[in-house]
Chains A and B, each alone.
Chain A
Amino acid sequence: MSKTISDYEHIKRLIIIIFLLVAGFIAVRFIFVPKDFYEYGHYRGGSLTENMDRPLNYAGSQPCADCHEEKHRLWSSSKHKTVNCEDCHGALRKHTEDPSSVKPRKPAGRDFCLLCHAKNVSKPGNFPQIRSWEHNPGLNCADCHNPHNPLPLGEGGRFAPAGEG
Chain B
Amino acid sequence: MNNFSRREFLGLSLKSIMALMALGFPKKLLAMTTLDGYKVEEHLWGYGIDVDKCIGCGRCVDACKVENHVPDDPFFFRTWVERYAERAGGKVEVDSRNGGRDGFHDLKDKKDLVKSFFVPKICNHCEHPPCVQVCPVGATYKSPDGVVLVDPGYCIGCRYCIQACPYGARYLHPEKHVADKCTFCYQRITKGLKPACVEACPTGTRLFGNLKDENSPINRFIKAKKVMVLKPDLGTRPKIYYSGIDKEVR
Contact = CB atoms under 8 A, between A and B. Distances in A.
Complex A-B, nearest 8 residue pairs according to Cβ-Cβ distance, in ascending order? A43-B141, A47-B151, A54-B187, A122-B116, A51-B186, A83-B202, A115-B103, A120-B106
A47 B186 CA distance: 11
A121 B107 contact: yes
A41 interface: yes
B202 A51 contact: no
A47 B149 contact: yes
B58 interface: yes
A42 B138 contact: yes
Given A87-B200, A122-B107, A51 B187 contact: yes
Given A119-B106, A120-B56, A44 B85 contact: no
A82 interface: yes
A53 interface: yes
B53 A115 contact: no
A122 B56 contact: yes
B138 A54 contact: no
B39 to A, nearest CB: 13
A151 interface: no
B53 A124 contact: yes
Interface residues of B, number: 55
Nearest to A131: B106
Nearest to A87: B59
Given A48-B143, A115-B103, A122-B104, 7 more contacts: A41-B141, A43-B139, A56-B193, A58-B188, A84-B199, A87-B63, A91-B63
A30 interface: no
B200 A123 contact: no
Interface string B48-59: 000011111111
B138 A43 contact: yes
Given A87-B200, A121-B110, A44 B183 contact: no
Interface of A: 37, 40-44, 47-58, 60, 82-84, 86-87, 90-91, 114-116, 118-124, 127
Contacts of A122: 56, 83, 85, 104, 106-107, 116-118
Interface string B109-144: 010010011100000000000000000001111111
B164 interface: no
Interface stretch (B9-17, B30-38, B211-219): B30-38
Contacts of B83: 122
A116 B202 contact: yes
A82 B204 contact: yes
Contact of B55 (A40, A60, A87, A127): A127
B205 to A, nearest CB: 10
A41 B202 CA distance: 38
Contacts, number: 127
Contact of B183 (A37, A51, A82): A51
Interface in B49-87: 52-59, 63, 66-68, 83, 85
Contact of B67 (A41, A47, A58, A124): A58
Contacts of B190: 52
B151 A120 contact: no
A120 B204 CA distance: 19
B119 to A, nearest CB: 10
Given A48-B40, A82-B202, A58 B196 contact: yes
A52 B36 contact: yes
B149 A120 contact: no
Contacts of B188: 56, 58
B151 A50 contact: yes
Given A51-B149, A116-B57, A44 B138 contact: yes
